[in-house]
Amino acid sequence: MGEKPTIAISHLGCEKNRIDTEHMLGLLVEAGYSVDTNEELADYVIVNTCSFIETARQESVRTLVELAEAKKKVVITGCMAQHFQETLLTELPEAVALVGTGDYHKIVNVIERVEQGEQVKEVSPEPTYIADETTPRYRTTTEGVAYLRVAEGCDYGCAFCIIPHLRGKQRSRTIESIVAEAEQLASQGVQEIILISQITTNYGLDIYGKPKLAELLHALGRVDVPWVRMHYAYPTGLTPDVIEAIQENQNVLPYLDLPLQHSHPDILRSMNRPWQGRVNDGIIERIKAALPNAVLRTTFIVGFPGETEEHFEHLLEFIERHEFDHVGAFTFSPEEGTPAYTLANQLPQEVMDERWHRLMALQGPIAAKKNQQEIGKIVDVLIEQEHPESGKLIGRSGRFSPEVDGQIYVDGAAKLGTIVPVAIQDADTYDLYGEVVTSYHNQ
């Protein structure tokens, strides 16, 4: 029998996609395939695509076309494979296989069938699969960090969002399964575990009959890992018992990623957001009162169909009042197959762009002020990389999540993948600057 082909994976999209990529890599390595980062040397390139918004799709298409032009055998996986399963194989005859979001665990079988000369389409109509702690995984993040998926899919029907169509209904893993994987990661030296799903505050609802995020955080509080961070915490799901779990477990960072999307009740209603206008009834104030040292990050969509200047001013006033530590903003992207695609009063792109610039101009000084407040403090920093030219270390404190927030540029010596005390000496709008404290003893 001949040697097995070499496989490269081109990863696009979010951290949920990244976990799928890591499982595919793990399964291929376990099956004896050699995995290479260099696409030129690989026999096959698996492109794990994103289809969330138009710009993400454009990047995916660009990557696919470039590989096709380079005469590569392309396996298309991920959200775009799920989204455009009817047309992709026709439009990209160079693609040897199409694998849906609920089928990535079949990757070894797919490659074997392709090797036999078959053009494979492996796309379940409704994704139901979720990997667990027994699924092989080959991590692609820096050594100190790992994402841990607690659930997959979503039961909400937000008007702008294609995710339930691409990822299926919510399906949670058991607490025992998540803790087992967290312990595996801790034993590999991981310092920070980031919990992800579509709606982390709804974790467990489908299997336990009610959300069990508080119980999960208590269980992870007993795992020997310094930092546990949550992404996608819907504010209405931050119930008193969840807040208490954050307060009581030292390794659970008081970092709350609240995907609010807007502030005005009219827009939230037309977005079909689960809590509609309740975001204005003191939820943020209650979170800040209970967790005074909480770091609040959020994302907003500007230019949703029907958004008037008055609606947008309401959003600006909301941002000014609450002073979020980190804000991400996107202009509305009309997605075919979602209710928002056919809504009346779609806004011109130039109006959306102008509003986006105004929002970011308002947030910039708020972010800068929050960073200025760190000067003079000694903070724990996870060292993630060393700048090749300057030799400066780059890392993050608990205030910053990877890839979406700022970084800390650090003078001094420290091992990659370790958490060290750093004296913060300077700040700009998004990043901090400091020096490793050698004589510091954590009290």
Span 82-133, pLDDT tens digits: 888 778 778 787 788 989 989 999 999 999 999 998 888 999 988 889 999 9
- DSSP structure string for 33-54: -EE-S-TTT-SEEEEEE--SSH
Q: Whole-angstrom distance between the N-terminal and C-terminal Cα of the chain? A: 61
Average pLDDT over residues 169-174: 95
Cβ atoms of residues 130 and 171 within 8 Å? yes
**Residue 141 annotated as part of some ligand binding site:** no
Domains of the chain by start residue, with CATH: 6-122 (3.40.50.12160), 145-373 (3.80.30.20), 377-436 (2.40.50.140)
pLDDT score, position 29: 92
Distance separating alpha carbons of residues 405 and 415, to the nearest angstrom: 22
Would the pLDDT of 385 be above 70?
A: yes
Distance separating alpha carbons of residues 426 and 422, to the nearest angstrom: 12
Name the residue among 4, 197, 195, 191 with its Cα closest to residue 112: 4
Would the pLDDT of 1 be above 50?
A: no
**Residue 14 annotated as part of some ligand binding site:** yes
Q: How far apart, in Å, are the Cα atoms of 203 and each of 37, 100, 224, 267, 299?
A: 34, 23, 22, 26, 20
Cβ atoms of residues 135 and 105 within 8 Å? yes
**Residue 312 annotated as part of some ligand binding site:** no
Distance separating alpha carbons of residues 69 and 346, to the nearest angstrom: 36
Q: Are strands 393-396 and 408-411 parallel, antiparallel or unpaired?
A: antiparallel
DSSP state of 375: T
**Residue 158 annotated as part of some ligand binding site:** yes
**Residue 54 annotated as part of some ligand binding site:** no
Q: How far apart, in Å, are the Cα atoms of 93 and each of 9, 73, 98, 278, 430?
A: 19, 10, 11, 49, 44
DSSP state of 332: -
Total number of residues shown for the chain: 443
Lowest-pLDDT choice from 87-91, 170-174, 177-181, 403-407: 87-91
Q: How far apart, in Å, are the Cα atoms of 390 and each of 28, 287, 428?
A: 37, 41, 19
**Residue 296 annotated as part of some ligand binding site:** no
- DSSP structure string for 71-134: T-EEEEEEHHHHHTTTTHHHH-TTEEEEE-TT-GGGHHHHHHHHHTT--EEE--SS------TT
346 exposure class (CB count in 10 Å sphere: 0-12, 13-18, 19+): middle
Average pLDDT over residues 341-368: 94
Would the pLDDT of 213 be above 90?
A: yes
- Is pTM beyond 0.85? Reply is yes
Would the pLDDT of 52 be above 50?
A: yes
